[in-house]
Amino acid sequence: MVGYSTMKEVMLWAQTRQPARVQVQYWEQGKPTPSWSTAEVATTAKTAFTAHLLADQVQPGKKYEYAILVNGKKVDLPYPTRFQSQTLWQWRTDPPAFQFGVGSCTYINEPALDRPGTPYGGGYEILTNLAKQQPDFMLWTGDNTYLREPDWNSRTGVLHRYTHTRSVKELQPLLAATHHYATWDDHDYGPNDSDRSYWLKPVTLEAFKLFWANPNYVFDEGCAGTFHWNDCQFFLIDDRTFRAPNNAPELSKRPMLGQPQLQWLIDALIFSQATFKFVVIGGQVVNPAKVFENYANYADERDSLFRAIAKANIPGVMFITGDRHHTILHKLERPGTYPLYDLTISPLTSGPAQPLADELALPTVVPGTLLVERNFGLLSLSGPLKDRVLTIKVFDAKGTQRWSREIRAMDLR
């Protein structure tokens, strides 16, 4: 898998089936010489045979090809292996155009451990069709794997689930040629609807860090972090580690993000100079319906975030969410300032689910954006710095485009 990208380094990831020495050799695209190599990493059972491999000889704005070496021998793979460094455009040109994929809710069947009856997961060809779009990077917005009853109470179970999900063959081409960034939601954090009381959360955080290659983690607890891609900044928010139980008393005042994370997010949004500031979080934020696990159930904290965005006059904020097993765009009009958008993209391979009828009657729903089937999003940024345009396209499992919308940066000011 290709992990984060910066102007001066790129992180790659690999997993072996048994102890091995792993290394990556890489070269500029179309120019096999000269080439560079990462340090060799020994994979062990203690870390589920995973390896993080740092390519630290890259130069800004270059595309590279790479090969995996296991025990000194090149592994022949039947799909492209490539990555890119980010471009140094500031003070020189307008930011480059780019596109990224968005998806959530990835359930991979394992019959021996699945619930009886019709398999919950399926349609894995969606991963193939997503890869065909050749996004610059992929944004995984939660429930990226589904921990189950045999997994919740042991490190062995958690590492098995991550390994099982990561091993599905349809996923390999996407992993190998696209950069990947992730946050989590309840199913890759713990049991369904799990909260801060989950007893094994240090273990699932360890697994998250072993199997993803995000560039940073803001807190010792949880998976919150941030990254830039050209003129945009992405805030990967943790909606589980600090979350009060859904049935806790004083419902409106209970925390979901927790005060330290909420304050960090507000500060980081104020500091950011990005054209678009994408807040990436597992559950819906803008939807005002107090149903399921929407942020509206945590009204005081949600209102604090919205007030802070308005009071500080922070431009360009938009939410990208998952969880709900359908895709929809919500738009919250705000007096005296720009509207807040929340793009929910879900599910990839899990079972689809309808929203409640009352939700569809809400004024925040953007007509024509509901899709209740397996799907993914492809978001692209284009245009000059002073007039950037975000184009949202949603595709079904077969790769057929189902709807699209444009949002201009100047309309989020």
172-229 per-position pLDDT tens digit: 999 999 999 999 999 999 999 999 999 999 999 999 999 999 999 999 999 999 999 9
Give the DSSP per-residue string, 321-360: E--SSSBEEEEE--TTSPPEEEEE---SSS---PPPHHHH
Topology (CATH level 3) of domain 1-88: Immunoglobulin-like (2.60.40)
235's enclosing H/E stretch is: strand 232-236
Is residue 251 pLDDT above 70, yes or no? no
86's enclosing H/E stretch is: none
What is the chain's mean pLDDT, rounded?
97
The encoded tokens of residue 378 equal 């492809």
The mean pLDDT value for 280-298 works out to 97
Does residue 34 have a cis bond before it (omega within 30 degrees)? yes
Amino acid 248: pLDDT: 85
Is residue 352 pLDDT above 90, yes or no? yes
d(CA 52, CA 150): 27
Amino acid 275: pLDDT: 98
The arrangement of secondary structure in 91-411, i.e. its CATH architecture, is: 4-Layer Sandwich (3.60)
296-321 per-position pLDDT tens digit: 999 999 999 999 999 999 999 999 99
220-240 per-position pLDDT tens digit: 999 999 999 999 999 999 999
Banded pLDDT at 59 (limits 50, 70, 90): very high
Amino acid 250: pLDDT: 74
- How many CB atoms neighbour CB 363 within 10 A? 9
Same fold, 1-88 and 91-411: no
d(CA 321, CA 295): 11
**Domain map (residue ranges) of the chain:** 1-88, 91-411
Amino acid 37: pLDDT: 98
Would you give the DSSP letter of residue 392? E
Amino acid 253: pLDDT: 81
132-186 per-position pLDDT tens digit: 999 999 999 999 999 999 999 999 999 999 999 999 999 999 999 999 999 999 9
Q: Of 11, 48, 285, nearest to 156 (Cα)?
A: 48
Amino acid 252: pLDDT: 65
Is residue 249 pLDDT above 90, yes or no? no
